[in-house]
Amino acid sequence: MKEDSNQSEYKPKFMEWGIINKENFSSIKDVPIKRWDPLSTVIITSKDFGFREERQRFYGHYSYLSPIRGKRPIPLKTMEDKKNDLGDCSEVIWKGYKDVFMSVLEGTPMHNDWGSQIGDGFTIIIMEDEKRRDNPFLDIPHKIEKIPESCKALTLINRYPSMARVVDQDIKVSIEKLLSRHSKLAEGINLITLSRDFYPSLCFALIPDDVLASIFFSMKAAILYAIEEAIDRDYYDIPVNPFFNIGTKVGGSQPRIHSQVYIDLNGDGHGSRLEAYLQAFKEMGNDCHLCKSTHGGSNERRIILETNFWAFFATGSPVRNYHIRFHPKEHIRRFTQLNVNQLGDLAKSIKAIFEALDKMNVDKNRNILFTCVPYGYDADFHMFGDIIPHEIIGGAEMADDMRVARKSPYEVAEEIRNAITS
Ligand SMILES: [Zn+2]
């Protein structure tokens, strides 16, 4: 076989980068499905969110079934990976560490010290910092020629996504004929934003503020680009979920700091939790809770950190112990409306809080989730985020939207406040 050169073409295997075409399609059983649970799915009848009439929408519980995600190559664990699982941040461990993204950034196949290939260098790159590169619907992966030295963060299409992004029209029609009523082909864009230089995600203290801010800037620019192109292709009413999975215990399979964005292009509604948020904000009307709340009052404060732009607080109804919620002080609906000052300040603040949690020996495996109003919805909303450290949860908690927390949010807030200032 000939060695890859930068000019060579790569034919994507079934569902790599969300591509389904005549060449790689084999069987319906591997198709990514969005499946609504018939026992919790309700048709949205109201015109509350300004929906167009021509399509049925739901809210409820749904699952993305994506067989390819189970097949993605996860390399055998090296000593570095094992230490990463423990959140070991000593520099000597990470010096010269090679990951799959290094191969992407250098546009060349890369092997680990034992000679097994960790990456072939092919990718689809949407953003180099905030500069547009490939179209979010591009279907030809390639190697990156050169990333300028100044670049701090990049946004790529996820190679092993939960949703199909570019689907051959004939195949799409035949897939849809075979699916049952509550199932559909899961369509969407899965983005991944990473730092150009390697920083282990469990070692937040090592990530410079400006690098984390650059990850936010690149995410924002990429979402805007993807939405613009999606609307151009007649997709509408688009839920967008930006998030970080930090650590293998909460879904982060790569050790390098990275965020993800799920852009759902099915246009068929949203989950039951988002429905509850949308209805709650609707009920609040002009009396927005996040705009006026002091989060626990002036004596028993649940506030953890307050800056010119953001408030962070221990939420009064935690889904895990040490669950922290945060929101911009400005009443805005989406992540993409955050400006450069708000995003820069967010990077600094999250870092300060993560360092405080580290000092308190809170599990370093954490999720950061942003909740925003979907594109196309005519709904009032105040965007917010959650920082949720990993914890094992029990039975009753899986059955309903309920959690048992053992720590008082007031104590949590006080402990974190003390850890930030000490
Ligand atoms: Zn508000």
Single-letter amino acid code for the residue at 76: L
- Residue 97: the pLDDT is 81
For residue 10, the CA-to-ligand 1 centroid distance in Å is 48
Rounded to an integer, the average pLDDT of 310-332 is: 96
Region of residue 274 (left: phi > 0; alpha: psi -120 to 50; beta: else): alpha
**Range from 159-173, 296-310, 367-381 carrying the lowest mean pLDDT:** 296-310
Residue of 96 and 249 predicted with greater confidence: 249
Residue 180, CA atoms < 13 Å, CB-side half-sphere: 6
For residue 293, the CA-to-ligand 1 centroid distance in Å is 9
For residue 240, the CA-to-ligand 1 centroid distance in Å is 19
* pLDDT above 70: percentage of residues in the chain: 93
- Residue 362: the pLDDT is 95
For residue 380, the CA-to-ligand 1 centroid distance in Å is 9
For residue 379, the CA-to-ligand 1 centroid distance in Å is 13
- Residue 67: the pLDDT is 78
For residue 215, the CA-to-ligand 1 centroid distance in Å is 25
- Residue 259: the pLDDT is 97
d(CA 213, CA 259): 12
- Residue 3: the pLDDT is 43
* pLDDT above 90: percentage of residues in the chain: 71
Question: Residues in the chain, how many?
Answer: 422
Give the highest mean pLDDT range of 101-115, 287-301, 304-318.
304-318
d(CA 315, CA 322): 9
Are 163 and 22 spatial neighbours (Cβ–Cβ below 8 Å)?
no
For residue 285, the CA-to-ligand 1 centroid distance in Å is 10
d(CA 122, CA 120): 6
Among all chains, which residue has been given the structure tokens 């021509």?
54
For residue 334, the CA-to-ligand 1 centroid distance in Å is 12
For residue 296, the CA-to-ligand 1 centroid distance in Å is 17
For residue 284, the CA-to-ligand 1 centroid distance in Å is 10
For residue 289, the CA-to-ligand 1 centroid distance in Å is 6
Are 274 and 239 spatial neighbours (Cβ–Cβ below 8 Å)?
yes
pLDDT digits (tens, 9 = 90+) for 210-242: 999 999 999 999 999 999 999 999 999 999 999
For residue 290, the CA-to-ligand 1 centroid distance in Å is 5
For residue 106, the CA-to-ligand 1 centroid distance in Å is 44
Are 349 and 312 spatial neighbours (Cβ–Cβ below 8 Å)?
yes
Q: In the predicted model, what is the mean pLDDT of the chain? A: 90
- Residue 269: the pLDDT is 93
For residue 139, the CA-to-ligand 1 centroid distance in Å is 40
Residue of 84 and 392 predicted with greater confidence: 392
Q: Hey, is 196 helix, strand or coil?
A: coil
CB atoms within 10 A of CB 64: 17
Rounded to an integer, the average pLDDT of 311-329 is: 95
Reported as a pLDDT band with limits 50, 70 and 90, residue 2 is: very low
Alpha helices (runs of H) in 237-360, residue ranges in sequence order: 272-284, 289-292, 340-359
- Residue 283: the pLDDT is 94
For residue 299, the CA-to-ligand 1 centroid distance in Å is 23
For residue 165, the CA-to-ligand 1 centroid distance in Å is 34
DSSP state of 281: H
For residue 108, the CA-to-ligand 1 centroid distance in Å is 47
- Could you write out the DSSP letters of every residue in 228-252? HHHHHTT--SB-EEEEEEESGGGT-
Rounded to an integer, the average pLDDT of 322-333 is: 97
Q: 282: exposed, middle or buried (C-beta count within 10 Å: 0-12, 13-18, 19+)?
A: middle
Among all chains, which residue has been given the structure tokens 């519980």?
61
Give the highest mean pLDDT range of 22-31, 41-50, 274-283.
274-283
- Residue 85: the pLDDT is 60
Rounded to an integer, the average pLDDT of 284-312 is: 91
pLDDT digits (tens, 9 = 90+) for 63-110: 999 877 766 666 556 666 666 665 678 776 777 788 889 999 999 998
Among residues 135, 194, 136, 187, which one has the least CA distance to residue 162?
A: 187
Are 31 and 176 spatial neighbours (Cβ–Cβ below 8 Å)?
no
**Range from 39-48, 133-142, 279-288, 328-337 carrying the lowest mean pLDDT:** 39-48
pLDDT digits (tens, 9 = 90+) for 44-58: 876 777 777 778 889
CB atoms within 10 A of CB 143: 21
For residue 288, the CA-to-ligand 1 centroid distance in Å is 5
Residues 6+ positions from 1 with CB-CB distance below 8 Å: none
